[in-house]
Copies of this chain bind each other. A is one copy, B any other.
Amino acid sequence: MPNLAVALDLGGTQIRGALVDEAGAILARQVRRTPAREGADAVVAALAQVSRDAAAAAGTRPVVGIGLSAPGPLDAEKGIALATPTIAGFTDFPLARNLEAAAGLPVALENDGIAAAIGEWRFGAGRGKSHMVYVTVSTGIGGGAVVDGHVLRGRKGMATHIGHMTVMHGGELCVCGNHGCFEAYASGTAFLARARRLSMHRPDSALSGLNEALTGPEVFAAARDGDELACELVAEEATMLGLGFANLLHLYSPELIVVGGGMSSEFNALEAGILRAMRGAALAPFRDVPVVTAALGDNSGLSGAGAIAYQAFGTNGTRR
């Protein structure tokens, strides 16, 4: 009987869990709230519960172990959350070891950007490619890269923290404390902050007066209705994404860039601007690289986490 892996995708607001088979199919999917403010033990207990529920759904099929996607920075090699800003207590916290004890299964930890990149590479938009970059654009910006058929991990598995490359020296303050990060210009958070700030000075705009209640989808909807400010905001978002993507072309030389995360649901509105900015900033031989949206949507990370479990524990539960 073919094996199954438990896949867990830990985010700042939600824990997604599932069983994943070796072909990337997702079974017994569940979602629950992350107890992000209740401390590391509460988060581990919640992860263990999701894991047990998933394992129970496997019935008599053997479970090889847990693949866990989690927000960084983390030391994936040692299984340690180093300094996760969105979860209380995730500072130098031995996440993999604690979850192993609580769930009774071996755990392979991976940065969430890399896990989602693996999902898209193995089962999604990047299938069959030797070189691809995955970028997730939501609250923050993260990602993963496949180069020469290898998933880049680097020292402590910390490669591809692409949200924190500086694209504007001395620019906007980022949550990380640095100024001018890609994330500080092109994340969903940055997009919304810019919209709220500018809308205060543009009484002619449909966005005016919404202030803190303004949402991203409202800005895109207003842009579709021709609102001038909304169109400017969408154009600026596309430009900053394209600029960052051009950097990724020069640094990794992918065959394609795959965009996931919440912002990718508005890709139709952003695509032309992204390509214009990306090609404008790229050396000529990089300009023909396509940008596409993730094929697995919300499940890139889960599918990737499953693949990581199989890679780590094989099909008979052996540690790598």
Residues of A within 8 A of B (CB): 73, 75, 82-83, 130-131, 147-148, 150, 152-162, 164-169, 171, 176, 178, 185, 240, 243, 246-247, 250-255, 280-286, 289
Contact = CB atoms under 8 A, between A and B. Distances in A.
Given A152-B148, A253-B156, A169 B283 contact: no
A73 B155 contact: no
- Which 4 A-B residue pairings sit nearest by Cβ, starting from the closest? A154-B253, A158-B253, A161-B250, A159-B253
Nearest to A157: B253
5 contacts: A73-B285, A73-B286, A147-B152, A152-B252, A160-B251
A147 B156 CA distance: 11
A176 B283 contact: yes
B178 A155 contact: no
A168 B169 contact: yes
Given A148-B150, A251-B159, A167 B167 contact: yes
A308 to B, nearest CB: 15
Nearest to A154: B253
Nearest to A145: B251
Contacts of A246: 166, 178
Given A159-B253, A161-B251, 8 more contacts: A73-B285, A83-B284, A155-B253, A155-B254, A161-B283, A161-B286, A166-B167, A169-B243
Contact of A251 (B131, B167, B251): B251
A165 B167 CA distance: 8
Nearest to A143: B251
Contact of A147 (B154, B283, B284): B154
Contacts of A254: 154-155
B247 A165 contact: yes
Given A167-B166, A169-B167, A247-B165, A148 B156 contact: no
Contact of A154 (B82, B131, B240, B283): B131
Contacts of A165: 165, 247, 250-251
A178 B253 CA distance: 18
Contacts of A162: 250-251
Given A155-B255, A156-B253, A243 B164 contact: no
A286 to B, nearest CB: 7
A247 B147 CA distance: 18
Contacts of A152: 147-148, 152, 252
A155 B303 CA distance: 25
A163 to B, nearest CB: 8
